[in-house]
Amino acid sequence: MSTLYEKIGGEAAVEAAVDVFYRKVLSDDRISHYFDTVDMDTQRAKQKAFLTYAFGGPANYSGKAMRAAHAKMKLSEGDFNAVMENLGGTLKELGVPDELIAEAAAIASSVKNDVLNK
Amino acid sequence: MITFEGIPYEAEPAETVLDCLLRHGLEVPSFCRNGACQSCLLKVTSGAVPARTQAGLRLSLAQSGAFCSCICPTDKELTLERLESAQSYGSKILEVRQASSRVAIVRLSRPSGLAFEAGQFVYVRRTVDGIERPYSLASLPSDEFLELHVAIFPDGALSPWLSREVGAELEIRGPFGDCTYVADETEAPLLFAGTGTGLAPLVGVLRSALARGHKGPLYLYHGARDSNDFYFSSELLALRQSQPTLEVNELSTDLVQHVLERHPESKQFRSYLCGAPDFVQKLKKRLYLQGSPLARIHSDPFFSKAPSGVTVSAAP
């Protein structure tokens, strides 16, 4: 039995996905303004940690840290959905099968309440 | 056993560097705990850390000893510091040349112990009152002096003094930053784009590239409000005349747009961007979206993560 992380392709898959994903997010007019003033190198590293987590990989993502990181941003349901869409689009573009995309989306969705500060 | 900021700490078996320091009550930021997010970077000054703790780091960061403390074991002797720590050196103002109404080229004595690469920056500290500001190094390590390009703010805390008091003593802390020449790719096209005295680190990297016989094309863009602000024209012209692969552009129009129109394909470029924060952020983003990897875009971090919590707006 291999894990989702192994099936998707492990660290190499994350490395391949992170720039595709981050470029999508930065080009998405619905949410790109949240990234106008952040340091891009730092943010890319954070996106990589997020993708590792969504791919079921070894990332220690605590709800408390996610909450603290997003608390002041006042994000909406729409913002969260935009990120999810970009995640799905990234995986599709990289040829990941639909059932694995669904698994990754389910993991990513689990942080929703923390990100939206609910 | 690890030594952090000069104090030894006992580690427990199988403990990471981060966990050990946290257990002893030290404050070290962390997030993913998996060596990905780079929140927990520390610097090793003696001893060796495993290669995987430096995977994915910028080359210059890794070379400076940075590593992810959250995945680093404590089974070997390590001497560690925070990333932003650096030594101080005594220096003094040797020479000042007024290059335009707003900019002076300042030469400082070169401290013998200071190891740096052209294009990095240092904090210049006035000894009497401790006021310090960051300045990039436009000169080569082989030069007998340090060259700074000082934008003179009439009400500034340091710049009027720094551009006037020849002979005055000061301290230098550093070096920092990753605007440096990468030696192992002599064929790559290099893009230099800067506004105002953001030209200084670009000149440093350019001089370094020329000194090491760079073969690829060199594109330099200097942006300023009007023609009086092109304070380095004659030096750039001299460089261009001696170097057929160098193209120099001085522009008082929209620099971002100009660079993107001229270079719609920039994937293979190595880019150096310095100057006004909004300019740097905008061009960096556009080059990244054009397909350039972030690791090939070098910019100074003054505005986003200045060392030691010093907040600086748009110094060179």
Residue-wise pLDDT tens digits, B110-141: 998 898 999 999 999 999 999 989 999 999 99
- Tell me, what's the pLDDT at B310? 36
CB contact at 8 A, A11 and A53 = no
SS3 category, A26: helix
Could you give the C-alpha distances from A56 to A43, A82, A106, B38, B121, in angstroms and in order? Answer: 20, 21, 10, 19, 41
CB-CB: which of A44, A46, A60 is closest to B33?
A: A60
Total-model pTM = 0.83
- Tell me, what's the pLDDT at B313? 40
Going by C-alpha positions, the residue among B307, B297, B306, B274 that lies closest to residue B138 is B274
Show which residues on chain B lie within 8 Å of chain A, measured between beta carbons.
Answer: 31-34, 36-39, 56, 58, 281, 284-285, 288-289, 293-294, 301, 304-305
- Tell me, what's the pLDDT at A36? 83
CB-CB: which of B32, B288, B293 is closest to A60?
A: B32
pLDDT in tens, B99-112: 999 999 999 999 98
Domains, chain A, with CATH or none:
4-115 (1.10.490.10)
- Tell me, what's the pLDDT at A100? 94
Confidence check: pLDDT of A53 > 80: yes
Could you give the C-alpha distances from A61 to A37, A51, A53, A87, B30, in angstroms and in order? Answer: 24, 11, 7, 17, 11
End-to-end CA distance of chain B: 41
The ipTM is 0.88
End-to-end CA distance of chain A: 35
